[in-house]
Amino acid sequence: MHRLLSRYAEAIYWLARYVERAENLARLLDVNETFSRDSRGWQNWRSILQINRDEERFFENHEEADADSVIYFYTLDQRNISSIISAVNAARSNARTLRPLISTEMWIQLNMFSNNLKSMQREDLSEPRLARFCNQVKEACQTHTGITEGTFYRDESWFFYQIGRAIERADQTTRLLDVKYHLLLPNNETVGSPLDVSQWNAVLRSAAGYHAFRRVQPSGMTQADVAGFLLFHSRFPRSVRACVHDISNRLNHLRSTYRLIGGATALDELDELHSLLDDITIDQVIDKGLHEFVDWVQLKLIRINAELGAAYFGYPALNQEGQAAD
C-alpha cells in the first residue's frame, strides 16, 4: 500500500474544516438572528463584522451594515471568502481533488449541495426565511458528516478528516462564545436578567447543546454554567475540551498506527492546551476575561494548524515564535 500524498492529506483536512465551518456559520447567523430581535438589533449585525475582523472587506462592496447586507455577506456572497457559499465551494473544490479517494456518495452530495447554493437568490434569505436557510445548510453539512462516517475508507486520510473537523469545531465554539460576549458586554444589571438567560439559552441551542446541557444541569442557567459547558464539558461533542481531546487522540493514533515521523511539535502544543483546559475553572476564566481566554485558545489552534501543515502537508517549517520560516 502506498502512503497518503501530502496534497491529499491537506485536502481532506480542509474539506472537513470547510464543511464544519459552513455548518457553524449557519449556527452563528441563526443565533444572531435571535439576538437581533431585541431593540439593539442593528448593532448586533455590525458586531458580527467586528468579531470576525471583516469590516474593511465588508465595506468594499456594501454601503451599510444592516441585517440584509450582513446576512448576504456571510451566506451567498461569493466575493466574501468567509461566506457559507465560499466555504461550501472550497469544500467541493477539495472534494474534486480528492475524488480518487473519497466515496462517490460523498462527492455527489457535496456537488449537489454546492449547486443548490449557487441557485439560491437573495430573496431566499429575507428575515422570515433565514432560519429555514440556516437549517438547510446545517442539515446538508450533517448529511455530509453522516455519509462520510458511513462510506469513507478508514485509512490515514480518515484521521486527517477527523482532525480537521475537530480543530474547526473547537475554533467555532470559541467564536460562538465570543459573539455572545461582544453582543452583550455583561454589566451588573443585565447579568442574570431574563433577557440574558434567554440569550445564553439561544447560544446553547445554536451549538445543539441545550438538551445535553439540561441533562447535566436540570435547572437554572447562568453565564458561567453555559460558558463552562461549552468550553469544558468532556462529553459534549462540540465543547472545546472534547474537541481538543479528540484531536490529540487522533493524532496519537495516526502517528502510532502509521508510524509517521512528523507531528511531535503539534502534539506538544496540543498537550499544553489540553492540560490548561483540564486545570482551569470557568470562574477563573471569567475573572481573567472570557474574551481573552477564547482569544488565546484560538491562537493556540492556529499554531496547531501550522504545525500539522509543516509536519504533513509540506507547509514551511515554523520557527520558535510560531512564524513560518522562509
Partner 1 sequence: MLGGAGDPAEHTLSIRERLNRLDLEELRGRARDAELELYSFGITFTVYTQKDVIDRILPFDVIPRVISAQAWKTIQSGVIQRVAALNLFLHDIYHQQKILKDGVVPKDLVLGNKNYCPQMEGIDVPCGTYVHINGTDLVRGDDGQFVVLEDNGRCPSGVSYVVENRHLMLRSFPDLMSNIGIRPVSNYGQKLHEALVETAPAGVGEPQVVLLSPGTYNSAYFEHIFLAREMGVPLVEGSDLVVENDKVYMKTINGLDPVHVIYRRIGDDFLDPEVFNPDSVLGAAGLMRAYAKGNVSLANAIGTGVADDKAVYAYIPRIIKYYLDEDPILANVETHICREPEGLAYTLANLNKLVVKPVGESGGYGITIGPRASKEELEKCRAEVTADPANYIAQPMVNLSVCPTLTDDGIKARHVDLRPFAVTGKSTWVLPGGLSRVALTKGSIVVNSSQGGGSKDTWVLE
120 touches partner 1 by CB under 8 A: no
Complex with partner 1: residue 81 or 195, whichever CB lies closer:
81
Complex with partner 1: residue 167 or 207, whichever CB lies closer:
167
Q: Which of 23, 33, 156, 246 binds partner 1 (CB under 8 A)?
A: 156
111 touches partner 1 by CB under 8 A: yes
Residues between 223 and 282 that touch partner 1 (CB under 8 A): 258-262
Residues between 88 and 107 that touch partner 1 (CB under 8 A): 93, 96-97, 99-100, 104, 107
**Alpha-carbon separation of residue 251 from 138, 165, 271 (angstroms):** 27, 13, 11
Residues with Cβ within 8 Å of residue 14, at least 6 apart in sequence:
90, 91, 94, 164
146 touches partner 1 by CB under 8 A: no
- Name the segment binding partner 1 (CB under 8 A); options: 2-10, 58-66, 210-218, 224-232: 2-10
Residues in the chain: 326
Complex with partner 1: residue 262 or 316, whichever CB lies closer:
262
Cell digits for 154? 478508514
How far apart are CB 125 and partner 1 at their closest, in Å? 24
Among 228, 238, 246, residue whose Cα is nearest residue 207 = 238
d(CA 249, CA 261): 16
**Alpha-carbon separation of residue 141 from 18, 135, 138 (angstroms):** 10, 10, 5
For residues 174 and 298, the answer to whether their CB atoms sit within 8 Å is yes
The partner residues of 324 in beta bridges, in order of sequence, read 318
For residues 174 and 262, the answer to whether their CB atoms sit within 8 Å is no
208 touches partner 1 by CB under 8 A: no
192 touches partner 1 by CB under 8 A: no
Complex with partner 1: residue 267 or 285, whichever CB lies closer:
267
Complex with partner 1: residue 35 or 312, whichever CB lies closer:
312
Complex with partner 1: residue 46 or 96, whichever CB lies closer:
96
CA 325 to chain centre: 27
What does the binding site for partner 1 look like in residue numbers (CB under 8 A)? 2-9, 93, 96-97, 99-100, 104, 107-108, 111-112, 156, 160, 258-262, 312-314
